[in-house]
Structure 1
Amino acid sequence: MHDYPMILIMALLILGYGVFSKKAENSIITPPMVFVLMGLFVSYFMPNLLDQSPKAGYVKPVVEFTLILILFVDGSTIDRKSLWYEKSLPSRLLGIGLPLTMVLGTLAAMWIFPEENLYILILLALILSPTDAALGQSVVTGEKVPKKIRQTINVESGLNDGFAYPPLLICISVLALQQGLEVKEGHLLTFLLKQFILGPAIGGIVGWLGGKLIELALKKGMMTVIYQMLESFAIAVLAFFAAEYFGGNGFIAAFVAGMMLGTRREEARERMKEFGEAGSQVMVMFIFLLFGMILVPSSYPLWDWRAWIYAIMSLTLIRMLPVWISLIGTGLDRKTVLFIGWFGPRGVASILYLLIAIITLGPDGMDRLVSVITLTVLLSIFLHGISARPLSGIFGKGDHEN
């Protein structure tokens, strides 16, 4: 048993938190907060465990798979019919807001960290551009916030990690060339077209066919309840790898597969959703435990005033200004725009992309990048987690369209 200390700690934490999870759900305490704090506790009082913790190369597949499952489950909760009428909001946030966030994040980084390599600063802005709605879970799952706004935040969060991935890979490739590392050659336009066309197309096909297969099996009475639950894992992974095999974006494919799931059987959809949420929740908590154990303690000494300024700007101005610009002319009032702007937490996607950068480029010269991203994610875990429930309650009381 002494060979698996992390598994033992995870089991104890899940048992302990689970006992009080109902009370915690109705409070401002969120699972990511608890597991990050426990990671810090372990790093301080049991530092010898750090030598036995998984390395970045082993953690990356776990984070990747977690994100795939989260995206699939998020996609499966989307009401396609209502989204069709409200599609302008997510498309504005993704088509206008996301690129502006990347540009503004880069400009702010150039101003605050002028001595750093330009492409490191671009990479910083790209890694912090995708959002993670799970950190403010009550916003997208509760009934207090209008469905239109919940779906907008959920769709944006589900797709922007995939949209940020191609420019991230391009930036990492440029940095790799600067370091003299070999990179895969390929035509940029072809690469981008494959990412943004094949990803959604393959994801939609896999999700629709997988759902229809489940529906057919249920009609003929051939499928057990357990395997209905397991299909969320199977379809999400198939969509991801099929898209990646043909050059598409696997993360976008996983989200679209969930959104286009081809079964109307509510009991099957609910079972798949519950299993996907439970499975991804365990892995998310493991990621945040490691985040608190390893990244936070190692980054803490580098948190100077400039790191704090950028982290706070990333969660406020760098996020909110592009959201405001992208939503001009939609008829939403100022409170709604501020609400959407604020609930752009940074979480699992930013941690995954940071790991990809470190594994590809190596740790040398990455101290500033790692420290600022870690601080931003840490602030987001607590600020968005604490504010989600009370702000949802306040926001849900009014009429928010002009």
Structure 2
Amino acid sequence: MSFINGVLLLGGVLLFVSVLASTLTARLGLPLLLLFLVVGMLAGEEGVGGIVFHDFSTTMLVAQLALAVILLDGGLRTRASTLRVAFKPAATLATLGVVATALVLGVFATWLFGVDWRIGLLLAAIVGSTDAAAVFSLLRNSGVRLNDRVKSTLEIESGANDPMAILMVTVMVQMIMNPGERDGWAYGVMLLQQLAFGALTGLLGGWILAALLARLRLAEGLYALLIVSGGLMVFAATNMIGGSGFLAIYLAGLMIGNRRCHATEHVLRVMDGLAWLSQAGMFLALGLLVTPSHVFDHAPRALAMAFFLMLVARPAAVWLCLLKQRFAPNEVAYISWVGLRGAVPIVLAIYPLMMGVPHSLLLFEVAFAVVIVSLLVQGSTVPVAARLLKVVVPPRNEPVDRVEVWVGRNETLDLMEYRVGHLSRAEGMQPDSFVEREAGPEARCAAVLRHGKAVPLNRATRMREGDAVWLIAPDEMAERLAEAFAPGRENELSANAGFFGEFTVAADCPAGDLATAYGLALEDGEAALPLASLLIRRLGRHAVEGDRVSIGAFELTVRHLNSRGEIDKIGLKCPTALPMLRL
């Protein structure tokens, strides 16, 4: 019993210290995942904890479980609309990109470490894929808002590239341990089986779980347990029939998250904590497993390999995959840089160790060092690189908080909280008349809180700076209302005029009218097009917020897209100050 209590105490202390220390990493701009690794290493046999831990099987189990939960959470938060703009490039990066990265890096690793080419290629395959845990965590907590094309491509790639990485590692281990046993066709069939079974069971399992979530009435805390247990069933069953469990559970999460129901918000709240716990536990276990002095023994060559991966192999593979995808050069550069490595390479490096592959300890220690360098160098520069490469779009004005209230099987009320800003349009206004003017008759004021106490709502009530105002309004009105509560008398468009332009024009405005008003030179056949169609024609791809085209000295920028992914607002940036255009 004392041993069990000691293990529980140790686990609690490690997690507690890691969470408290997260405030320090935020101030230093370091990834929180790196902190969990470091805490695990400090608790290990060469750290202050002195814990001797070499149980690779247990670590593999913990890591598989944690990665499954993290991928499920990532799928739940991925909107299906992002697939329109990112599925094709992300799928290419998740397959061809992993292979290209491994081939380029494998040649370098073979030369650098002076090993057999199969060992070099195995090492490259281990670190060749991006990591979902690192990508989801760092992109969503970076403090910058990336354009949807870049963000979605990175997230979908990291969620879908595990099958190819696992296949390459499996192939190389088989070639080393049992040369000549299989031919290329067998490996091709294995990949197709992984992808097909993973996609089929993931989509089917997600559909079933989403249907159950919508129909069952459970205690609030049980909805998330239902989804986690169901997701793990999909994950394990898919692995047992030869499919990719990682792909399956990611797709299951995507299916569930995009079929919203009364229980979705309960699930998302609990899953956020479970995903963080999974990341913390996994990286702590991996940190305990490694021997720091052995990693440092390989530090010079591991550093060389890490930087070759970041500066040569990954960029070459991304450039090849996105060559015909109509990505801007700055977008390609950012996707190349944010090829974050995390838990997956370390987990993949455990497999050769368990199979008795020659030089497997070297592979594990080098993979661990590459992950540390990636988190330290790439992870800490995610927001800086985004600003330097101009893939950032201005943050939206959004409610302080929102609650989705289900009033029927298919009907919801969106309850949103706003704060009255200094000199905002809301300050000094009667709540009901103000809301009707800004959002129409379908919106209502539910409550006004002042110093934490409810203010009686009547015709004499006036909103003051700092008041918390709760509104019932359609979701599509959220941003417009946020602009009205924002400080100052400038709306968000004016505040972001340097990015979107000084004026806004309707997406259905004929391009010829704009050309006539400003003397713009259009190409043949463009004058009759709506501005939205003109933008898409010149972009040659699905538009995302922040996309822009130049017409002479003028710039048209996608300002906003509706829920169907169609352009509905366009910013106009003029070379000099011009009178306000009304179209």
Q: Work out whether the TM-score is over 0.5.
A: yes
> TM-score under structure 2 normalisation?
0.61
Amino acid at match of 1:68: A
SS in 1 for 2:161: helix
1:316–1:3 Cα change, 3 Å: farther
Letter of the aligned partner of 2:161 in structure 1? Answer: N
- Over alpha carbons, which structure has the higher Rg? 2
Give the AA of the match of 1:93: L
Match of 1:202 in 2: 201
CA contact 2:132–2:155 (8 Å) conserved in 1: yes
* Contact 1:89-1:327 at 8 Å conserved across structures: yes
Question: Aligned to 1:283, which of 271, 278, 281?
Answer: 278
1:396 to 392, 395, 419: 392
Please give the root-mean-square deviation of Cα atoms over the aligned residues, in Å.
2.8
Q: What CA distance in whole angstroms lies between the structure 1 residues aligned with 2:66 and 2:318?
A: 27
Which stretch has the larger CA shift, 252-261 or 153-162? 252-261
Give 1:234's aligned residue: 229
1:314: how far off?
Answer: 1.6
TM-score, structure 1 as length reference: 0.87
Q: Percent identity?
A: 22
Between Structure 1 and Structure 2, the one with more helix by share is 1
Q: Kindly state the Cα deviation for residue 156 of structure 1 after the two structures are TM-superposed.
A: 0.2
Quick one: which amino acid aligns to residue 341 of structure 2?
Answer: R
Query: Offset at 1:321?
Result: 1.3
State the Cα distance separating 1:377 from its structure 2 match.
0.7
What is aligned with 2:348? 353
Structure number having the greater strand percentage: 2
Identify which of 311, 318, 327 aligns with 2:313.
318
Q: Which residue of 1 aligns with 2:446?
A: none
Counterpart amino acid of 1:310?
M
Mean alpha-carbon deviation: is it higher for 137-146 or for 94-103? Answer: 137-146
Q: Bigger shift: 377-386 or 387-396?
A: 387-396
What is the match of residue 369 of structure 1?
Answer: 363
Structure number with the bigger relative contact order (C-alpha 8 A, sep ≥ 6) is: 1
Alignment of 1:91-170 (within 5 A): 91-113=91-113, 115-136=114-135, 137-140=137-140, 144-170=145-171
Contact 1:311 1:376 in 2 (8 A): yes
Partner of residue 254, structure 1? 249
After superposition, the Cα gap between the structure-2 partners of 1:13 and 1:319, relative to the gap in structure 1 and judged at 3 Å, is same
**1:76 is matched with which residue?**
76
Partner of 1:36: 37
* 1:70 CA drift (Å): 1.2
Gaps of 5+ in 1: none
Deviation for aligned residue 1:342: 0.8
Letter of the 1:46 partner, please give it.
V
**Quick one: distance in 1 between partners of 2:338 and 2:14?**
27
Q: CA deviation at 1:155?
A: 0.4
Q: How many residues align?
A: 390
Residues 135 and 3 from structure 1, CA distance in 2 versus in 1: closer, same or farther, beyond 3 angstroms? Answer: same
Deviation of 1:285 (Å)? 1.9
Unaligned runs of 5+ in 2: 394-498, 500-545, 550-583
1:90 aligned partner = 90
Contact conserved, 2:76 with 2:253, CA < 8 A, in 1? yes
The superposition leaves residues 41-77 of structure 1 with CA deviations (integer Å, 9 ceiling, x where unpaired) of 3334436422xx3511111111011111111111222
**Does the CA-based 8 Å contact 2:71-2:132 persist in structure 1?**
no
2:387 aligned with 1:386, yes or no?
no
Which residue number in structure 2 is paired with residue 46 of structure 1? 48
Comparing 379-388 and 208-217, the one that deviates more:
379-388
For 1:142-166, what per-residue CA distance to the aligned partner results, in whole angstroms no more than 9, with x for missing partners?
A: 6611122211111000011122112
Q: Deviations over 1:70-109 (max 9, x none)?
A: 1111122221133134322212322432221121121222
Sort the Cα spacing of 1:15 and 1:188 in 2 relative to 1 into closer, same or farther, 3 A: closer
Contact 2:77 2:257 in 1 (8 A): no
Whole-Å separation in 1 of the counterparts to 2:28 and 2:367: 27
